[in-house]
C-alpha cells in the first residue's frame, strides 16, 4: 500500500482594517444586507474605498462624508463611519505603492494616454481598471483588493498631508472580502 501525498499550495490570509464614511441610511442598508455599492470608475478605479485604519481614518471618513454633503449626495448631520475587516488571500492583494508597481502603472498609463487621451477624471479611474485587468490576465489570479495612496478629501484640515503624503486607501474589488465590524455615527 502506498501513501498518496497531495500537495496543496496555500497563501496567507491578510486581514486589513478599513474605515468607510457614508450616510446613516446607507450605512444601515449596507449593514443589513452586507452589500456595498461599488464606486464606478472612482479616483483609482472601480471598487469600495476604505481608508486604512489609523489615528486619521475616522477624520478622513468624516471629511469624505462632508464632501459628499457639499456636493448634494448626502444630507447634513447624518454621517456614519463603517469599520470593517477586509480579508483577502495574500496572492489576491495588490500593492500599487510598491515602486515596481508604480513604474509599471506609469508606463501603462502613458501608453494608454498616447492611444486615447484622457477626457475627464473618470478616464483616470478607467486606466486603473485596465491596469488591474492586465495584471489579472498576466498572472491568472484575481486582484480582489489593492492599496494605494489617494488625496485626502477637500477641506480635511486635520490630516497632515505635507508631513505624511497622501493617505493609504484600500480599494475592494470583491465585496465578499468585506466584513463589517461596527458602525459609528459621526
The predicted-structure confidence for 87-131, as pLDDT tens digits, reads as follows: 999 999 999 999 999 999 999 998 887 766 666 655 888 899 999
pLDDT value at position 6? 45
Whole domain around residue 119: which residue ranges? 14-185
List, in sequence order, every beta strand (DSSP E) within the chain.
Answer: 13-23, 39-42, 45-52, 79-89, 93-95, 145-149, 168-172, 178-185
pLDDT bucket at 1, cuts 50 / 70 / 90: very low
Say how many domains are in the chain. Answer: 1
pLDDT score of 43 more than 50: yes
Q: Within a domain: residue 151?
A: yes
Q: CA dihedral in degrees (113, 169, 97, 134; nearest 10)?
A: -50
Question: In terms of Cα–Cα distance, which of 85, 84, 86, 62 is closest to 74?
Answer: 62
Average pLDDT rounded to a whole number, residues 80-85: 98
Q: What is the CATH number of the domain that holds 181?
A: 3.90.228
The predicted-structure confidence for 31-42, as pLDDT tens digits, reads as follows: 998 888 776 678
Q: Within a domain: residue 6?
A: no
- Determine the Cα–Cα distance for residues 58 and 48; give it in Å rounded to an integer: 16
- Determine the Cα–Cα distance for residues 13 and 90; give it in Å rounded to an integer: 6
Q: Within a domain: residue 60?
A: yes
Q: Within a domain: residue 8?
A: no
Q: Within a domain: residue 2?
A: no
Question: In terms of Cα–Cα distance, which of 179, 182, 181, 176 is closest to 47?
Answer: 176
pLDDT value at position 41? 73
The predicted-structure confidence for 143-178, as pLDDT tens digits, reads as follows: 999 999 999 999 999 999 999 999 999 999 999 999
Residues 6+ apart with CB under 8 A from 93: 14, 143, 144, 145, 146, 147
Q: Within a domain: residue 24?
A: yes
Q: Which residue has the higher pLDDT, 40 or 183?
A: 183
Q: Within a domain: residue 86?
A: yes
Question: In terms of Cα–Cα distance, which of 46, 7, 31 is closest to 129?
Answer: 46
Q: Integer distance in angstroms from the first to the last C-alpha of the chain?
A: 66
Looking at every residue in the chain, the average pLDDT score rounds to: 90
Q: Within a domain: residue 76?
A: yes
Amino acid at each position: 500500500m502506498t501513501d498518496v501525498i497531495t500537495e496543496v499550495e496555500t497563501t496567507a490570509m491578510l486581514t486589513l482594517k478599513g474605515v468607510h464614511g457614508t450616510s446613516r441610511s446607507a450605512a444601515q442598508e449596507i449593514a443589513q444586507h452586507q452589500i456595498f455599492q461599488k464606486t464606478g470608475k472612482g479616483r483609482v478605479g472601480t471598487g469600495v474605498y476604505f481608508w486604512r485604519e489609523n489615528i486619521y481614518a475616522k477624520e478622513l471618513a468624516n471629511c469624505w462624508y462632508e464632501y459628499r454633503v457639499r456636493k448634494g449626495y448626502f444630507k447634513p448631520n447624518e454621517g456614519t463611519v463603517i469599520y470593517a475587516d477586509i480579508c483577502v488571500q495574500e496572492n489576491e492583494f495588490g500593492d500599487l505603492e510598491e515602486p515596481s508597481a508604480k513604474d509599471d502603472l506609469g508606463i501603462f498609463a502613458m501608453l494608454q494616454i498616447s492611444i486615447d487621451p484622457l477626457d475627464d477624471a473618470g478616464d483616470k479611474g478607467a486606466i486603473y481598471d485596465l491596469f488591474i485587468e492586465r495584471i489579472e490576465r498576466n498572472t491568472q489570479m484575481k486582484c480582489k483588493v489593492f492599496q494605494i495612496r489617494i488625496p485626502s478629501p477637500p477641506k480635511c484640515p486635520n490630516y497632515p498631508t505635507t508631513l505624511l503624503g497622501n493617505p493609504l486607501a484600500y480599494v475592494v474589488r470583491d465585496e465578499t472580502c468585506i466584513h463589517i465590524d461596527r458602525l459609528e455615527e459621526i
